[in-house]
């Protein structure tokens, strides 16, 4: 038997586009002499469809898409993920399902049993879990057909569920496992995914075909990396990251094993490629083309500029330099040099006149007060107004350039440097922004060396440095990582050797600035715990305040 893995980039709600992609992949699989072609979880709707599934018309279109796809299942079988209705009154109205299509019609439907409800996942909000488990028979083989999370109750220290679907299927003596999945990207997730799948193969001693999405849906990025695994627990092949592909495998060769082919997992390469895909799909799937952003001469806007230019093309990226009386000459020169290196359009709009006008208007009301945060924020908001004006006038989407360290502790100005349509690097800590800049420059200087080596500064007051109000980023980022990604409380972090007063101050900053993060653009998710839909914290809370 020959099995084709179709790793595709789908678009939420674009039923016609998704269907056409799958029909093209079916043709490719047929040319490769495949007996089955497998698509990923919720391939008809793309993942995650979220509250769209509450519309009957949306569900109807998903079902119509499956039926249209079934007509192509002649001379080849098709496995595809989609939603299906629950025919009984009790329970949720829908299932997250995998369809087996053969001879022009739907032959079998299997439902997802383990419904993740954590981080970005909220499947129990919509779906009823499977309550029965049956193999699928095809060409003399018994297939254990499962969906994503159904395989994730093995190979981890803290199982979330009390059942393993494969345990329920094994008495039926399956010959192979096929798992259709929508497994989001995080820079450390690929190896974890392999470990979980290996745990299943080691336990059940069956070959495994694991099919994943490739592409981005707003903030959620899927890296592909579909996996074929031999019964010996070795990766027969891991498909490329962040690419679409259709590849067919001979089941007998997979059963024999021997071939071991994994993708490299360099952290900076993964973050770099994932963000480029995230930008590209955000713009492409929304019908946008051109981006604009503020280019300060600092490291964050520099990295954002490179990623945007690589995602959209140099002709579709526009930078605006907005110097003030506090901007250093080298910052302006660094920004100009970077723009020239990238070949992107740039404009220089000094903000001094606008800033002075605001101060003049506010003078009677600010009389008797000294220069402070308000004056700093006026500068940031002036820049925000100018960028949004350019965005409105020319139809460019504003990219936000804040990093995760700043977003965590509230080191940013609402309606100023925190505005934008998409936040590009807000899931990348400052220390990793520097590492990413070095990665970008590995084959030659793109980002000016001075941008990387100079002390970070918002340049909103004389001789300002980030270090005036924040600890060294190496220390700050480790504390933030332990609190945000690892969910460690103050006691645990202090026991790691960090200063107690510093830890409590930083954690308090994270919590009291939640209101800011509720008002920021969607953030491209590259870590295991990004701000946004995957981290739900109360704005009004007493914890550590």
How far apart are alpha carbons 465 and 159 in whole angstroms?
Answer: 45
Any domain includes 54: yes
Asked if residue 158 has pLDDT above 80, the reply is no
Residue for token digits 């500064």? 457
How far apart are alpha carbons 512 and 544 in whole angstroms?
Answer: 9
Any domain includes 472: no
Our count of domains for the chain comes to 2
In this structure, the answer to whether residues 275 and 379 fall within a common structural domain is yes
How far apart are alpha carbons 243 and 225 in whole angstroms?
Answer: 9
Residue 151: what pLDDT? 96
Give the tens place of pLDDT for each residue, 372-418: 999 999 999 999 999 999 999 999 999 999 999 999 999 999 999 99
Any domain includes 491: no
In this structure, the answer to whether residues 48 and 105 fall within a common structural domain is yes
Asked if residue 89 has pLDDT above 90, the reply is no
Kindly report the number of other CB atoms within 10 A of residue 363's CB atom. 9
Average pLDDT (419-443) is 98
CATH number at residue 107: 3.60.110.10
With beta carbons less than 8 A apart as the criterion, state whether 48 and 10 touch: no
How far apart are alpha carbons 293 and 396 in whole angstroms?
Answer: 9
How far apart are alpha carbons 29 and 22 in whole angstroms?
Answer: 10
In this structure, the answer to whether residues 147 and 277 fall within a common structural domain is no
Among 413, 433, 465, where does a domain finish?
A: 465
In this structure, the answer to whether residues 235 and 347 fall within a common structural domain is no
Share of the chain above pLDDT 90, in %: 91
Q: Compute the residue count for the chain.
A: 545
Any domain includes 388: yes
Any domain includes 500: no
Residue 457: what pLDDT? 77
In this structure, the answer to whether residues 257 and 275 fall within a common structural domain is no
At residue 533, φ and ψ (nearest 5 deg) are -65, -20
Any domain includes 438: yes
How far apart are alpha carbons 296 and 328 in whole angstroms?
Answer: 10
Any domain includes 382: yes
Q: Please give the residue range of the domain that contains residue 111.
A: 2-263
Among 427, 446, 465, where does a domain finish?
A: 465
With beta carbons less than 8 A apart as the criterion, state whether 318 and 344 touch: yes
In this structure, the answer to whether residues 225 and 357 fall within a common structural domain is no
How far apart are alpha carbons 429 and 426 in whole angstroms?
Answer: 8
Cα four-point dihedral sign 269, 272, 275, 281: negative
- Rg over CA atoms, the chain: 26
Any domain includes 228: yes
Give the tens place of pLDDT for each residue, 298-325: 999 999 999 999 999 999 999 999 998 8
Asked if residue 465 has pLDDT above 90, the reply is no
CATH number at residue 333: 3.40.50.620
Among 465, 497, 515, where does a domain finish?
A: 465
Nearest to 213 by CA among 134, 290, 274: 274
In this structure, the answer to whether residues 324 and 404 fall within a common structural domain is yes
With beta carbons less than 8 A apart as the criterion, state whether 400 and 423 touch: yes
Average pLDDT (468-495) is 95
Which residues does the annotation mark as catalytic?
A: 41, 112, 148
In this structure, the answer to whether residues 329 and 232 fall within a common structural domain is no
In this structure, the answer to whether residues 278 and 156 fall within a common structural domain is no
* 111: alpha, beta or left? (left if phi > 0; alpha if psi -120 to 50): beta
Average per-residue pLDDT for the chain: 95
In this structure, the answer to whether residues 299 and 183 fall within a common structural domain is no
Give the tens place of pLDDT for each residue, 176-225: 999 999 999 999 999 999 999 999 999 999 999 999 999 999 999 999 99
Asked if residue 460 has pLDDT above 80, the reply is no
Give the tens place of pLDDT for each residue, 260-288: 899 999 999 999 999 999 999 999 999 99
Average pLDDT (448-462) is 85
Tokens of 410: 């509230």
In this structure, the answer to whether residues 180 and 289 fall within a common structural domain is no
Write down the pTM of the prediction. 0.96
Asked if residue 43 has pLDDT above 80, the reply is yes
Nearest to 278 by CA among 422, 418, 419, 430: 422
In this structure, the answer to whether residues 340 and 435 fall within a common structural domain is yes
Average pLDDT (22-40) is 98
Residue 545: what pLDDT? 58
Residue 170: what pLDDT? 98
């Amino acid at each position: 038997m020959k099995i084709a893995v179709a790793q595709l980039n789908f678009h939420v709600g674009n039923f016609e586009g998704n269907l056409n992609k799958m029909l093209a992949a079916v043709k490719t699989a047929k040319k490769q002499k495949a007996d089955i072609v497998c698509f990923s979880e919720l391939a008809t709707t793309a993942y995650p469809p979220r509250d769209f599934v509450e519309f009957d018309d949306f569900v109807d279109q998903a079902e119509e898409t499956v039926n249209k796809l079934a007509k192509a299942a002649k001379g080849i079988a098709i496995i595809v993920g989609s939603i299906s209705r629950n025919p009984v009154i009790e329970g949720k109205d829908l299932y997250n399902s995998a369809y087996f299509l053969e001879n022009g019609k739907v032959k079998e439907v299997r439902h997802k049993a383990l419904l993740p409800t954590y981080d970005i996942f909220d499947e129990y909000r919509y779906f009823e879990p499977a309550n029965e488990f049956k193999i699928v028979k095809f060409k003399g083989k018994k297939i254990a057909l499962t969906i994503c999370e159904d395989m994730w109750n093995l190979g981890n220290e803290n199982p979330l569920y009390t059942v393993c679907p494969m345990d329920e299927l094994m008495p039926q003596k399956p010959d192979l496992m096929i798992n259709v999945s929508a497994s989001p990207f995080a820079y450390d997730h690929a190896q974890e995914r392999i470990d979980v799948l290996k745990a299943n193969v080691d336990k059940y001693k069956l070959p495994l075909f694991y099919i994943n999405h490739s592409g981005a849906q707003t903030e959620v990025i899927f890296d592909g990396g579909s996996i074929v695994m031999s019964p010996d627990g070795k990766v027969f092949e891991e498909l490329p990251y962040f690419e679409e592909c259709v590849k067919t495998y001979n089941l007998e060769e997979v059963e024999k094993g021997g071939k071991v082919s994994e993708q490299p997992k360099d952290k900076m390469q993964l973050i770099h490629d994932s963000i480029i895909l995230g930008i590209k799909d955000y713009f492409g799937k929304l019908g946008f083309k051109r981006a604009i952003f503020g280019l300060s001469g600092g490291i964050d806007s520099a990295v954002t500029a490179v990623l945007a230019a690589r995602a959209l093309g140099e002709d579709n990226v526009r930078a605006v330099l907005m110097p003030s009386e506090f901007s250093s000459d080298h910052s302006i020169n660094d920004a100009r040099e970077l723009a020239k290196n990238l070949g992107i359009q740039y404009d220089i709009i000094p903000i001094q006149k606008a800033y002075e006008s605001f101060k003049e208007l506010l003078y009677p009301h600010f009389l008797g007060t000294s220069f402070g945060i308000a004056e700093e924020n006026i500068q940031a908001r002036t820049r925000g107004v100018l960028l949004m004006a350019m965005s409105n006038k020319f139809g460019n989407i504003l990219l936000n350039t804040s990093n995760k360290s700043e977003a965590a502790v509230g080191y940013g100005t609402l309606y100023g440097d925190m505005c934008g349509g998409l936040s590009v690097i807000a899931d990348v800590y400052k220390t990793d922004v520097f590492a990413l800049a070095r990665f970008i420059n590995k084959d030659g200087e793109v980002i000016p060396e001075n941008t990387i080596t100079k002390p970070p500064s918002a340049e909103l007051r004389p001789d300002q440095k980030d270090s005036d109000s924040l600890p060294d980023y190496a220390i700050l980022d480790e504390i933030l990582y332990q609190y945000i990604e690892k969910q460690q409380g103050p006691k645990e972090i202090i026991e790691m050797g960090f200063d107690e007063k510093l830890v409590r101050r930083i954690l308090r900053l994270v919590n009291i600035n939640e209101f800011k993060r509720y008002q920021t653009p969607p953030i491209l998710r590259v870590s295991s715990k990004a701000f946004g839909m995957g981290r739900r914290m109360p704005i009004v809370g007493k914890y550590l305040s």
